[in-house]
A and B are shown apart, each in its own frame.
Chain A
Amino acid sequence: MSTLVAPRPQGTRRPNTWGFGGSLLLGVACLVVFLPFLWVLLGSFKTGSQLNDPTLITFHPNLANWRDVIDSGILQAAGRSALVGIITVSISVVIGSMGAYSISRYKTGGSATRFGILAAQVLPPAVLVFPFLDMAFRLRINDTLAVVVIAHLSFVMPVVTWFLIGFFDAAPKEIEEQAMVDGLSRFAAFRKVVLPQVAPGIGASAIFGFVLSWNDLFYALILAPGNAATLPVRIAGFNTFRGVELGSMCAAILVSIVPVLIASFFIQRRLVRGISGGAVKF
């Protein structure tokens, strides 16, 4: 993968106007991303009456909202979201990589499998949720994280598998064929030779899958609304059309953003490298 990208010779320079325009664009983009976060940050420290004034910037910060939010169990909800995400992604990656390998190398099922996987993405959750709810009642797992994981698998697994098919497609066959000639079984070759090659791609798919699960509101809202509430459900709980706790809502939003901000610093490099490793070829 990196062999395709030869380093640029020293001393070459792009025309300055394009460079300047690019920097300006990035600056504006950063501002557009930053300002809503800033507004929410300020809001989380304001009291009810201070919130009525949208342009109030300097004021004495108040911690009441933060206390309310932490008391409301939002950190536990975030923990539950993370747990669901990790379990969902782990299952998806393990099972998906095996299946994706089979589809990529052996064309199992032909193009029907690729379309089939896509089809799963199209159906709106509003329809799939009731069969899940019914199943949850029968298996007595309603309002638990288990049923949320099953529901999340329905949309994470296809995406992860689909990405992995692309990664496997891009990985050259010669290396594993060489390994098998050297005496490794097919599964061993898969595990020891192919997987490490595709590792950045697996990382990228895992991150995508995790984000999809982390962000889901719909399934969690209906399948696990009570004791097993995930973070988005909790945040939705601050939104009402009959009276809003705006300050607490700002604090809750920040609680969900800050870990994400920190994580994305670590993730982005890996993400870009992983995806450029071949998944996005079709």
Chain B
Amino acid sequence: MKAITLRKSAIAAGTAAILALVSACSSGSTSSSAAPAASAGISADTAGTVRVLMEGVPDTDIVKGLLAEFNKKYPKITVNIESIVYDQIRDKIVASFQAPTPTYDMAIIDNPWMGDFAKAGFLKPLDDYIKNTPNYDYQDFSAPLRAIGEVDGKTYGVPFYNYGLGLIYRTDLFKTAGLTEPTTLAELATAAKKLTTPTRAGIAMQPQRGYKAFEEWGNYLDAAGGSIYGSDGKVHLNTPEAKLALNTYIQMYKTSAPKNSLNWAFDEALRAVSSDKAAMMVSYNWMLPTLNKQGGPAGALAGKFKLATMPGGKQILGLWDWAIPANSKVSDAAWAFISWLTSKEGEAARVSAGGAPVRTSVLTDPAVASTGGGADYFATVGKILGNAEPLCHGSSCDEMINAVGTELNAAIAGQKSVDAALLAAETQANKIQTQ
């Protein structure tokens, strides 16, 4: 009798335990495609391992540094960050998106990829998650940044860090030459020419064929008063502004850029500026704190750099978004991390540690302004983010950017006339995006 009773109670206890375990599990990470758990955000009880692939850049290190803080709120979620070089990211995540079991449960998406990935069904729409997260304040993200993650009326990504471009220049050299921040493209050209000496170029340029050429020249187009897309949503490069921009660019390349720099990209320009071989460059806005850092790459030149918007105030924007793959099995846990990191508090922590901002409130937060680049820098970043356009939106952006960049490089190299190159760029861009 006793044995049977014991057995029965053991079974009862076992069943209760199993039921408890099952309910605990199902309330956490395994509900992926259903609506998020509670309208009070993701429960702090959520468990899961979230694997994400990121680029080996300073912002990634900052995120890694914030993981301990994240685990205080969500102790059961483990975030595994793998960091590699840019070139290998896309192919790896595309492979993961299509695999029966994903290699990555969360992803960062570069803005040119967003259109293709969203339309291919690789990513999960985040609108419900955003709606159900309290105090998230999605509208606080800078408007051009939000637009990048929104495809066909749904939101597939929330901003991570921006790489908007701007003009970085040497304040001491400007002072000696009696120059002020250029407000027109012509003034920029004059300034560059004036700063060119036999041992130092006026401006380090990055005309490398493909992405780099387009990324840099796009700023010149904006400075000339033009824009890449017209109001009809098509690429318009065969315009007088574009021709002016390209002619000015080529002129500056010939007279004020370092010799033999036709193939230059980010590396080379940075090296030139940090070793006093160039006085200015158009580059990512967050290069400024790096250049001004004592003991950083600029050596003795640290502190002598300033960031300005492009002449005219409009420039090119780049952005990395957080996204959740459609085949992710731990979406709730992934969103827990994303919403925590991109919340106002998370953002403030990240930017204070040196990250590139995406929220307008953070830019005016006095606590943040005292860190990193200083209030001046953040004010300029605010201006940059307020009036910027990405190189491409829609589908097949990689191919479109490459096609335009190839034509631009051909014109800069003198292989094609400006008119022919711009016309070819426009035709190809539109053909690629509508295929």
In-complex A–B contact (CB below 8 Å): yes
Given contacts A48-B297, A137-B100, A225-B95, contact A241 B88 (CB under 8 A): no
B88 near A225 (CB under 8 angstroms)? yes
Given contacts A48-B297, A140-B100, A226-B103, contact A241 B87 (CB under 8 A): yes
Interface members, chain A 118-133 (any B CB < 8 Å): 133
Interface size range of chain B in the complex: 20 to 34
B232 within 8 A of A: no
B229 within 8 A of A: no
B88 near A133 (CB under 8 angstroms)? no
A137 near B99 (CB under 8 angstroms)? yes
- Which residues of chain A come closer than 8 Å to B82, judged between CB atoms? 226
B267 near A242 (CB under 8 angstroms)? yes
A12 within 8 A of B: no
Interface size range of chain A in the complex: 20 to 34
- Which residues of chain A come closer than 8 Å to B84, judged between CB atoms? 237
- Which residues of chain A come closer than 8 Å to B101, judged between CB atoms? 140
A240 within 8 A of B: yes
- Which residues of chain A come closer than 8 Å to B70, judged between CB atoms? none
B266 within 8 A of A: yes
- Minimal Cβ-Cβ distance residue in A for B212: A241
A222 near B57 (CB under 8 angstroms)? no
A52 near B275 (CB under 8 angstroms)? yes
Interface members, chain A 175-210 (any B CB < 8 Å): none
B91 near A222 (CB under 8 angstroms)? yes
Interface members, chain A 203-251 (any B CB < 8 Å): 221-222, 225-226, 236-244
Instruction: State which of B86, B88, B99, B271 has its C-beta within 8 Å of the C-beta of A52.
Output: B271
Complex Cα distance, B88 from A221, in Å, reads: 8
A97 within 8 A of B: no
B95 near A241 (CB under 8 angstroms)? no
Complex Cα distance, B208 from A237, in Å, reads: 21
A240 near B86 (CB under 8 angstroms)? yes
**Smallest Cβ distance from A91 to chain B, in angstroms?**
25
**Smallest Cβ distance from A274 to chain B, in angstroms?**
37
B66 within 8 A of A: no
- Which residues of chain A come closer than 8 Å to B275, judged between CB atoms? 52
6 A-B residue pairings within 8 Å (CB atoms)? A52-B271, A140-B100, A226-B92, A242-B57, A242-B86, A244-B267
Residue positions of B touching A, CB distance < 8 A? 56-57, 82, 84-88, 91-92, 95, 98-101, 103, 208, 212, 265-267, 270-271, 275, 297, 299
Residue positions of A touching B, CB distance < 8 A? 48-49, 52, 133, 137, 140, 142-143, 221-222, 225-226, 236-244
Across the A-B interface, give the 4 residue pairs with the lowest CB-CB distance, nearest first. A240-B85, A225-B92, A242-B266, A241-B265
